[in-house]
Structures are given as C-alpha cells and as structure tokens.
Amino acid sequence: MAGTAVLGRLNWRVADVVEVRPETSRTKTIAFDVPDWPGHQAGQHVDVRLTAEDGYQAERSYSIASASDASTLELTVERLDDGEVSPYLTEELRPGDAIELRGPVGGYFVWDSSAAGNVFLVAGGSGVVPLMAMARQRNAEGSGIPTRLLYSARALEDVIYRDELAQLTQEDGFDVVYTLTRAQPSGWQGYDRRVDRDLLAEVAPAPPELAVSFVCGPTPFVEAVAGALVELGHEPMRIKTERFGPTGG
C-alpha cells in the first residue's frame, strides 16, 4: 500500500485553476482543484509541467502555499522575466484553465506538529511560500508552538502575504520580524540590512530553546543563514533548508 501511495504521488494529474489573485507586483497565488489529490504536508512542493502546441515541455518545482486541510491546493509563483514557466503561470492562467502537476514531493522540510520548543522560520524573498504553509498549518491546528518568522525582502511592497501575516501575529506564540534590504518606508522601525550573524543573534531563539529552524530562499541566502546559525551554536541537524536558484521559473 505504501508503494502504491508513492507511485500515485509521482503520477501527473490535471489541475483545474479556480482562482488567481495577486500578492505583489511580481507574485500571484493560484488556487487549483486537483481531483484525487492524496493530501500533503506543509512544506512540501509539486512539479508543474507545461506542454506547448509543438510538444515542447517545461517543468519546474513550486512550493505548496496552502495548509494540508485547505479546500484547494495553492501555489504562489514569482514571475521571472527570463523564465519559461513563471511568466505563463502569473500572466496567462485564468480560472477554468488547466495544467499538469505531480506530487506532493519531499518529506524532510515539513512542519512538525509535535515540535518541542521554539520553531524559527527564515525566509528570503519568495522563499516565504513553504514557510507560509507552515504558519497556516500551525494556525489551522490551533498549535501553541512558539514560532517566529524572520522575513527578508527588498522593500515593503515585495512582502508576500503581508496582510495575512499581520493577522497571524494576533495568534498566541507567532510573530514576524522583517528586514527590508533595499528600500524602507518613512518611519520604518524594523531592520534594514541583510540577514547576517549579528541579526540572527538578535532575533533567533537561543540554541537550547530551539526545536528546529526552517530556512528557505535563494541558495546564497540559505547557505549564509545556515552557516551563521551554526556559528551561533545551533545544532546543524536542527537546521532544515530548502533553496532555489535564480533561473528556477
């Protein structure tokens, strides 16, 4: 039975678009109805396949943004101007359209509902997507796990899910720390620099209190954050990473 379930996840399915909504000027969330969807864990991803009229195919992987009990499967996609897939997903798809996807994929970078201690989420840009799935999962479960999200973005208008994150901070034990690396609005009270060892020393839970860190973003960002956390005394086995390259769209 377990083998059959794995094979099912590896099959391509036709997913129907039910909603497309903007998040920022470069990102959109696409909600799909996926017949026979096997379910997923917060933090997993799917493979998306597009097929042109001449038969040419392009595939990319995208993190799932929705919690496991959501009524639709949601992907939040950032448009890359030189990408093969993301411009189509963000500019061309409309409700009623269909694409192929398979998954869910991944079992390492996933929310742990039984985590004993603090959970630290670190996002670089659109790397917030699987971490948002975790935040939504935590909220859906009514979890009391102390959780902090450190979110690095270029500017405030580039922050994905800004309104929903503000709502989630009203829940006990969840808070968000922002750092805006290129532009800050007038009166900005948050951080205004790249995530480095000193910033992490200020905002990360102390090593003895930390159950796990999840770090997601571009490869250089993830490597720098993970290395700095180790320097600060965090156990490498408790630092889980997910990364993407600059041409992943």
> What's the pLDDT tens digit per position in 17-53?
999 999 999 999 999 999 999 999 999 999 999 998 8
pLDDT at 248: 42
> What's the pLDDT tens digit per position in 179-197?
999 999 999 999 999 999 9
State pTM to two decimals.
0.94
> What's the pLDDT tens digit per position in 55-108?
999 999 999 999 999 999 999 999 998 899 999 999 999 999 999 999 999 999
User: Region 144-148: what's the mean pLDDT?
Assistant: 96
Query: What token pair was written down for 80?
Result: 């890359």
Q: For the domain 2-104, what is the CATH code?
A: 2.40.30.10
Residues of the chain with CATH 3.40.50.80: 118-244
- Say which CATH topology domain 118-244 has: Rossmann fold (3.40.50)
pLDDT at 154: 97
Residues of the chain with CATH 2.40.30.10: 2-104
pLDDT at 10: 82
